[in-house]
Amino acid sequence: MATAANSVAHQTLIKLDPFVLAEKQKGVHNRWHPDIPAFVTVKPGEVFKIQCVDWTGAQIGNNDYADDVRDVDLSKCHNLSGPIAVEGAEPGDCLVLDILDVNYFEKMPWGYSGIFELENGGGLFAREFNSRAAKAIWDLKGVYATSRHIPGVRFAGVTHPGIIGTAPSAELLAKWNKRETGLIAQHPNAMPAVAFPPDPKGVYVGQDVPQELRDKIAREGARTIPAREHGGNCDIKNLSKGSRCYLPVFVPGANFSVGDLHFSQGDGEMAFCGAIEMAGIVTFSASIIKGGVEKFALKQPIFLPSPVDPQYASQIVFEGISVDLHGDGKQYNMDATVAYKQAALNCMAYLQKLGYTREQAYLLLTAAPVESHVGAVVDSPNACVTLGLPTAIFEHDVLPRPEGLTKRDFGQCAIRSDGVI
């Protein structure tokens, strides 16, 4: 007979409350540093769960104004759960992480996508749009998301952690800080900033550590914004539940951390706060391949995608090239980022023909499972990038018909309470 005695639940190793500010909780840190001690340790093969707050640490609410997005304190982001040590891991090994599941908290079945202000957070089109805060709240209903702020769509989430990474060694950390501060020095007054240097403001470690160590981490710790050699903030939508990833190990124990959970995201995550951001629970198992860095020439993580990623084969694909058509018509030199932006702008223009506002279109593309492929990056001077909009996520027909597109009224997403867009 089935009994509690013959049933063993998977242990939750880090428990958090998604309604409490992250800085007040244990097991949450917000910088990468080799000296942050492992918060928990697991054995190879063990199945375990890690809870995560949302990336802002509960700063954003389920309401119909975007003031919280406008005022977000980014010095406290991202909030990572960990570090988690794996027994036996040593530098040069490969950490094999099975992302067995990613779920939202039962008590918090919602997430959000946000457009940040140009001066606070930015985003891919921050300058082009002179961005003001906006957001969409998404209701999470099992495998699906819908939004009262973007009516007419429903899609299955390709649910994943935006951030997963091993702790850097001291050498690697020094390299990161050197190259990134170098870039900042080249762009002294950039708006939005091109990169973010170590900054003691807002740092927390999530554990009781000596003050001296805390200060060192605050002073040297790498910011969590970019992806780097250890993984980090990859924001790869297909590093999703069901995938298996292979990460290089730089410190004893590997000491990996995880956070920035996304219920869904489009390729490119264009609005920066661009996925459906959520708090939730990740189920893992971990193992070690000795000497895996050398065995697989592992400069950066590799992964095997999941068999349960949503399938949206029917798409409208938009092309983009590295010419800024919408503005000054400038010719760029084989720049795939510009080409991606053009494809996205072309898609947004199409969505506006359907009746979505620019802000809704921007938020939709950042949250829905759109696919962006690098078409070609060799045909000088134009990189060509495509962006595929899945048609089955819409409740209405969106195909390009001879009679044109039907324009509907979808209202507007959540904006600032002062009405500024």
Q: Does 362 bind a second copy (CB under 8 A)?
A: no
Q: Which is nearer to a second copy, 218 or 343 (CB)?
A: 343
187-206 residues near a second copy, rule: CB under 8 A: 187, 192-196
Which positions from 306 to 325 touch a second copy by CB under 8 A, shown as an x/- string? xxxxxxxxxxxxxxxx-x-x
**404-407 CB contacts, 8 Å cutoff, 24+ apart:** 404/353, 405/350, 405/353, 405/354, 406/354, 407/353, 407/354, 407/355
Q: Please identify, among the stretches 34-42, 82-90, 202-210, 342-350, the one whose residues bind a second copy according to the rule CB under 8 A.
A: 342-350
Q: Does 177 bind a second copy (CB under 8 A)?
A: no
From the CB of residue 240, how many other CB atoms can be counted at a distance below 10 Å? 23
Least distance between a second copy and beta carbon 207 (Å): 23
Q: Does 210 bind a second copy (CB under 8 A)?
A: no
Which positions from 211 to 250 touch a second copy by CB under 8 A, shown as an x/- string? --------------xxxxx-x-xxxxxx--xx---x----
110-129 residues near a second copy, rule: CB under 8 A: 110, 122-124
In sequence order, the β-bridge partners of residue 344 are none
Q: Does 380 bind a second copy (CB under 8 A)?
A: yes
Which positions from 47 to 66 touch a second copy by CB under 8 A, shown as an x/- string? x------x---xxxxxx---
Whether the bond into 305 is cis, omega within 30 of 0: no
Burial of 311 (0-12, 13-18, 19+ CB in 10 A): exposed
List, in order, residues 6 or more apart from 52 with CB less than 8 Å away. 16, 79, 80, 81, 161, 258, 259, 260, 261, 279, 280, 281, 282
Least distance between a second copy and beta carbon 39 (Å): 22
Instruction: Please give the torsion angle defined by the CA atoms of residues 270, 275, 277 and 280, in that order, rounded to the nearest 10 degrees.
Output: -140
Q: Which is nearer to a second copy, 214 or 268 (CB)?
A: 268
Report the distance separating Cα 16 and Cα 381, nearest Å.
Answer: 50
Q: Does 45 bind a second copy (CB under 8 A)?
A: no
Q: Does 136 bind a second copy (CB under 8 A)?
A: no
Least distance between a second copy and beta carbon 166 (Å): 13
265 in Cβ contact with 366 (< 8 Å): yes
147-176 residues near a second copy, rule: CB under 8 A: 155-156, 175
Instruction: Please give the torsion angle defined by the CA atoms of residues 240, 242, 248 and 251, in that order, rounded to the nearest 10 degrees.
Output: 90
Q: Does 97 bind a second copy (CB under 8 A)?
A: no
